[in-house]
Amino acid sequence: MDGNPRPETDRRVDGRHRRIMVTQAGIRVSTSPGPARLLSHVVPSGGIATLRQHRQAYPHPHGADPDEVRTAAAASGLGGRGGAGFPIGRKLASVSELGGHIVVVNATEGEPASQKDRMLLTSVPHLVLDGAELAARAVSASQVVVCVDWTDRLAVAAVKAAIAERTARGEPEIQLALTPPRYVAGEESALVNFLNGGPSKPTASGRRPYERGVNGRPTLVNNAETLAQLTLAHRYGPEWFRSCGTPDEPGTRLFTITSGGGVATVVEAPVGVTGLDLLDAADAAGRVRSVLVGGYFGTWMRAADFGVAAFSRAGLAPYGAGPGAGIVIVLPHGNCVLAETARLLSWYAAESSGQCGPCVFGLPALAEVAAELARGTAGPAGVQQLLRWAADIDGRGACRHPDGAVRLLRSALAVAGDDLDAHVAGQPCPGAEAAPFIRAAS
C-alpha cells in the first residue's frame, strides 16, 4: 500500500487477510477482496496523497493525446460509477463531436449512504482531478469545475488544497463550485442549472447536458470515481483495465458498505463480486436481515439472494436491483424493513425539489401510509393503496426522484415476507420498535 501505483496483479490481497484502515477524513477503508487499484494509492498513514508523489507516476494530462484518451476510455469499457453506468467512451465521443466546453466533476455525493467520492477527494484528489483534465483534453473543453457539497468541510478543504498545489506548479486552473446539500442537487440537470446561476433543481428541458449544458454548451458531467478510474485506464491501458470485472462491465468499483452500528466501510472489488465477499470485506456478513442495494435510492434484497448475487448490472437485474453508486446498507436482524422504508419515504418527501405535483403530494402520502403499515395500523387496504399510488406516481416527475421512492417501497413489500403479513394483521414485528438503523432517514 505505498503511494507508488502498480497494476493490481502485484497487490492482490487475500480475502482472509482483510486490511482495514482509516483515512485522515475518518473513512474506514478495506483492501479486501481486492484488487486494490484506486485504493493502492491511498496512503496507509491516512494522509492525503500529495501532488509531488502523484506526479512521479502520472504526468500532467496536458500532454495527453485526445484521440488516445478517447480510445483508452472506449476500449477499457469503463462505465459511469455514479449510478447510471453509461459508458464514458461514448460520452466522450458525443461531447467531443459537438465541441466540448466544460467538464463538470460531480463529487456532490448526494446519496447520503455513499462515502466513496468523499474518500477519493480527501485521500487521492489528484487521481480525480487528472481524470477530469484527461476528459477535458478528450472533448477539447477549456474548463474543469469540481462540484462539492458545501457542508462537507473536509472534502471542500481537500479539493481547495489540491487545486492550490496544482496552481503552484503552474498547472491549469481548476474551479471549485460549492453545491447545496440536497439529494436532487446531484442530479445532472440540477447541477447544470445551478452552475448556470439558477436554483439547484432538475429541469424538464428534455435536453441532456452533453448536448446543452453549462452556458448552453455541450457539457460533460462525470462522477468523481469514474474520472479516477479514467486516469488509471489511460495510464495502464485497456487490457490492464479489463483484466478484472466482467466482460460487459470491466474493472473494479468502489463500494460503500454500512453495517452494524452504522459503520461505513469503503471497499474496492471487481464488478461481479458476490455479495457475500463484499460483506466479508467490510466485516458485515453476520446477522443480516435484508440488504438495501443502491442506498437511499436503492432496492431491498433478501439476505440470501444478495449473498450469492454477482454485483453487476446483469447480476442484480433479476432482483430488480442495480449497482447504482455501489452502496450497500446491511440491515441487521432485529430491525424492520417496513419501518426503515417508511422513514426513508419521509426523507424522499423532504428531499423533493417541490416542482412536480405527483412528487410533492404523492411522496408524503406514501410516507404516511407506509408509517401506518410499520405501526401495524394500515391493514390490507393500506397495502392496496400503497401499491395503487406507487403505480400512479412512477415515472411522473421531471426527474427520477419519485421513481426511486416507488422502487424502494415495492421492494420493501416484496422482501418483508412473513413480517408483512404480521404488520397487515396488526401485529408489527419487534423490529418496528427498534431505534432507526438508517441514520439520515430518522
Partner 1 sequence: MSITSTAALHRQPTLQVDPIACEGHGVCAELFGEWIRLDDWGYPVIRKDAVPEDLLPHARWAVSNCPALALSLRKP
Contact residues for partner 1 (CB under 8 A)? 203-204, 355-359, 361-362, 365, 389, 392-393, 396-398
CB atoms within 10 A of CB 11: 17
Applying CB under 6 A, which part among 135-143, 288-296, 313-321, 398-406 lies near ligand SF4? 398-406
Q: Which of ligand SF4, partner 1, none sits in contact with 392, Cβ below 5 to 8 A by type?
A: partner 1
Q: Which of ligand SF4, partner 1, none sits in contact with 361, Cβ below 5 to 8 A by type?
A: partner 1
Peptide bond before 33: cis, by omega within 30 degrees of 0? yes
Name which position in 397, 404, 428, 431 contacts ligand SF4 (CB under 6 A). 397
359 near ligand SF4, rule: CB under 6 A: yes
Smallest separation, CB 400 to ligand SF4 (Å): 7
How far apart are alpha carbons 325 and 115 in whole angstroms? Answer: 10
Q: Which of partner 1, ligand SF4, none sits in contact with 354, Cβ below 5 to 8 A by type?
A: ligand SF4
Smallest separation, CB 107 to ligand SF4 (Å): 21
Q: Which of partner 1, ligand SF4, none sits in contact with 223, Cβ below 5 to 8 A by type?
A: none
Q: Which of partner 1, ligand SF4, none sits in contact with 352, Cβ below 5 to 8 A by type?
A: ligand SF4
Q: Which of partner 1, ligand SF4, none sits in contact with 365, Cβ below 5 to 8 A by type?
A: partner 1
Size of the site for ligand SF4 (CB under 6 A): 14
Applying CB under 6 A, which part among 29-37, 52-60, 165-173, 399-407 lies near ligand SF4? 399-407
Smallest separation, CB 42 to partner 1 (Å): 42
404 near ligand SF4, rule: CB under 6 A: no
Name which position in 77, 100, 202, 315 contacts ligand SF4 (CB under 6 A). 202
356 near ligand SF4, rule: CB under 6 A: yes
Our CB check for partner 1 shows the closer of 210 and 389 to be: 389
How far apart are alpha carbons 155 and 137 in whole angstroms? Answer: 25
How far apart are alpha carbons 63 and 57 in whole angstroms? Answer: 14
Smallest separation, CB 395 to partner 1 (Å): 9
Residues between 316 and 355 that touch ligand SF4 (CB under 6 A): 352-355
Q: Which of partner 1, ligand SF4, none sits in contact with 44, Cβ below 5 to 8 A by type?
A: none
Smallest separation, CB 348 to ligand SF4 (Å): 9
Our CB check for partner 1 shows the closer of 138 and 356 to be: 356
Our CB check for partner 1 shows the closer of 239 and 392 to be: 392
Our CB check for partner 1 shows the closer of 97 and 392 to be: 392
Q: Which of ligand SF4, partner 1, none sits in contact with 401, Cβ below 5 to 8 A by type?
A: ligand SF4
193 near ligand SF4, rule: CB under 6 A: no
Contact (CB, 8 A) for 22 and 16 = no
How far apart are alpha carbons 277 and 291 in whole angstroms? Answer: 14
Nearest to 422 by CA among 430, 433, 410, 414: 430
182 near ligand SF4, rule: CB under 6 A: no
Contact (CB, 8 A) for 281 and 18 = yes
Smallest separation, CB 358 to partner 1 (Å): 5
Nearest to 143 by CA among 105, 195, 102: 102
Q: Which of ligand SF4, partner 1, none sits in contact with 315, Cβ below 5 to 8 A by type?
A: none
Q: Which of partner 1, ligand SF4, none sits in contact with 203, Cβ below 5 to 8 A by type?
A: partner 1
Residues that bind ligand SF4 (CB under 6 A): 184, 202, 352-356, 359-360, 397-399, 401-402
